[in-house]
Amino acid sequence: MKYTTIVFDCDGTLLDTLTDLRNAVNYVLRTHDLPERSIPEVKAALGNGVAHLMRQSLPDSISEAQFNTYLDEFKAYYGEHLQDYTAPYPGMLDVLDTLRAKGYKLAIVSNKIQEGITPLNKEYFGDRLPVAIG
């Protein structure tokens, strides 16, 4: 059986987005006088979407109403700052170019919201990944 298509995750696979995600988390925490999170703490909370990231980053005492407000603040801040420090991992563009040259169809499927994945894909990968689903 020959594979014809390769599907990638985005955050932590194609793009190093950790600093921008940490900055967005810490913006919300700082705004509400809550303790900020380190890179290792934010990294440990990644992989299950931004709601999970924020739940892991906030104190347990936060109410559901507060959580929803904080999550909205995170999304707004991250939406404006998702390309401050984000970049493809070294060599990743060459890998994608090599795979395309060998005839593979390439795509991104991510738990990042579509409003995040679309501009990141366009900015960093151009036409290398014609399908990007968030």
Residues with catalytic function: 9
Could you tell me if 70 and 28 are in contact, meaning their C-beta atoms sit under 8 angstroms apart? Answer: yes
Could you tell me if 15 and 32 are in contact, meaning their C-beta atoms sit under 8 angstroms apart? Answer: no
Q: Tell me the residue ranges of DSSP E strands in the chain.
A: 5-8, 15-16, 87-88, 105-109, 131-133
